Structure 1
């Protein structure tokens, strides 16, 4: 993959890892720790990642052990690549366990340096929130989870904190918002029932703001939309991939794993590339061209040949 353009922030966007504290299989079929390891190994050669984002459902059971697995594995990848690390809760997460291990979700700062946090008790009724600055971009996490429910909502506390962040001291290149329930339509009946409620409240804050992109998950499938003119990118699931072309009123998923590579430019431009982890037992290589062959074809067929 080509390196990011000068001044851009390259983001590895992960979502829906659904890690378990006891190693139990997700939906009885997927070892999510192994799936996460496979995704991280597959993107290991991507150059220039400055920020790693996990947009919710970090855990399946809300256990501290599951969050330690996320901190150890994703944190090690981010530190090795010199990248910041930010996570946000989803509907499967439990705020108490999340905070115990990940504090406010802003774990590593610019360059992969650990961030310091004051550890004090916060009731689970209070949404998790935080912000940090990475390469001139403000990164704001918004907790859309509703304790005990699957759908998402923005509480007054969450809205107030986002409003405060967006009206605070300006940053050079704008803001990246990370949440779990994306403010776009869902492809299946089940996910539509569990979607973000009242996205207009979010749209009101985004309109005229410096937000460059909203990153979400929840749907276990890559999707692109917009809200108040701001791009909304939904990451594939690490745990599995939703069958979005099946019957609308049914729900099924394939054992497949993926991520997004998102580049946000200093001018506000956004470029997103979905990454699918191939299965060596099923994905037969169609062709492979070495560097010399690629260079020769490019020279013969590209604009330089005219």
Structure 2
């Protein structure tokens, strides 16, 4: 992959890792720890990543052990690459266990340096929220989880915190919002029932703001749309891939894992590249062109011939 352009923040966007504290298989079929390791290994050569996000359903069981495993794996990847690391809860997460390991979800700052947090107890009824600045961008996390429910909601508390963040001290390059339940229609009946219930309230806060992109997960499949004129990007899941073209009133998923590489430029332009992790047992290479061959084809078919 080509390096990011100058002044661009490159984001590795992961979602729905669904790790378990005891190593139990997700839905009885997927070793999500192994799937996460495979994703991280596959993207290890992506250059210039400045921020890593996990947009919810970090854990399947809410155990501190599962969160520590994600902290070790994804946080370790971010530290090695000199990237910031931000996490937000999803509907499968438990705020108490989440906070024990991730505090407010802003784990590493710019350059991959650990961030300090005050040891303040907050009850599970209080949404997790935080903000940090990376490469001139303000990164704000919004907790859309509803304790005990699968659907999402941006509570009044979360909305007020987002408003306060967006009206605070200005940043040079604008804001990136990370949440779990995307403010977009869902491709299946089950995910539609579990969608964000009040996207219009979020739209009201985003309208006219400096938000460049909203990053979400939850649907276990890549999607893109807009809300209040702001791009919304949904990352593929680490755990599995929803069959979005099957019967609407049924739900099935394939064993597959992926991520997004998102570039956000200082002028607000956004470029998203989905990354699918190939399965060695079922995804044979169609072809391989070495550098010399690529250069020859580029010379022959590129604009240099004009």
The corresponding residue for 2:273 is: 273
How many residues are aligned here?
A: 306
Cα distance per residue 1:134-192 (max 9 Å; x no partner): 00000000000000000000111000000000000000000000000000000000000
Q: Does residue 73 in structure 1 map to residue 46 in structure 2?
A: no
Q: Does residue 53 in structure 1 map to residue 53 in structure 2?
A: yes
Q: Secondary structure at the match of 2:16?
A: coil
Q: Does residue 131 in structure 1 map to residue 131 in structure 2?
A: yes
Please report how far the alpha carbon of residue 120 of structure 1 lies from its aligned counterpart in structure 2 after TM superposition: 1.5
Mapping of 1:151-170 within 5 angstroms?
151-170=151-170
The corresponding residue for 1:248 is: 248
Mapping of 1:31-46 within 5 angstroms?
31-46=31-46
| Whole-angstrom distance in 1 between the partners of 2:45 and 2:150 | 35
| Whole-angstrom distance in 2 between the partners of 1:96 and 1:107 | 16
TM value normalised by structure 2: 1.00
Please report how far the alpha carbon of residue 198 of structure 1 lies from its aligned counterpart in structure 2 after TM superposition: 1.2
The corresponding residue for 2:301 is: 301
Please report how far the alpha carbon of residue 119 of structure 1 lies from its aligned counterpart in structure 2 after TM superposition: 1.2
- Spell out structure 1 runs of 4+ moving beyond 6 A: none
The corresponding residue for 1:286 is: 286
Please report how far the alpha carbon of residue 117 of structure 1 lies from its aligned counterpart in structure 2 after TM superposition: 0.3
Gaps spanning 5+ residues in structure 1: where? none
Q: Does residue 206 in structure 1 map to residue 200 in structure 2?
A: no
| Whole-angstrom distance in 2 between the partners of 1:162 and 1:48 | 28
Gaps spanning 5+ residues in structure 2: where? none
Cα distance per residue 1:63-107 (max 9 Å; x no partner): 000000000000110000000000000000000000001000000
Q: Secondary structure at the match of 1:99?
A: helix
Please report how far the alpha carbon of residue 284 of structure 1 lies from its aligned counterpart in structure 2 after TM superposition: 1.1
| Whole-angstrom distance in 2 between the partners of 1:36 and 1:112 | 19
| Whole-angstrom distance in 1 between the partners of 2:283 and 2:145 | 36
Q: Secondary structure at the match of 1:218?
A: coil
Q: Secondary structure at the match of 1:226?
A: strand
Q: Secondary structure at the match of 2:160?
A: helix
Q: Secondary structure at the match of 1:68?
A: helix
The corresponding residue for 2:63 is: 63
| Whole-angstrom distance in 2 between the partners of 1:228 and 1:44 | 34
| Whole-angstrom distance in 1 between the partners of 2:87 and 2:295 | 40
The corresponding residue for 1:188 is: 188
| Whole-angstrom distance in 2 between the partners of 1:288 and 1:305 | 24
Please report how far the alpha carbon of residue 5 of structure 1 lies from its aligned counterpart in structure 2 after TM superposition: 0.4
Q: Secondary structure at the match of 2:19?
A: coil
Please report how far the alpha carbon of residue 305 of structure 1 lies from its aligned counterpart in structure 2 after TM superposition: 1.2
Cα distance per residue 1:103-134 (max 9 Å; x no partner): 00000000000000011210000000000000
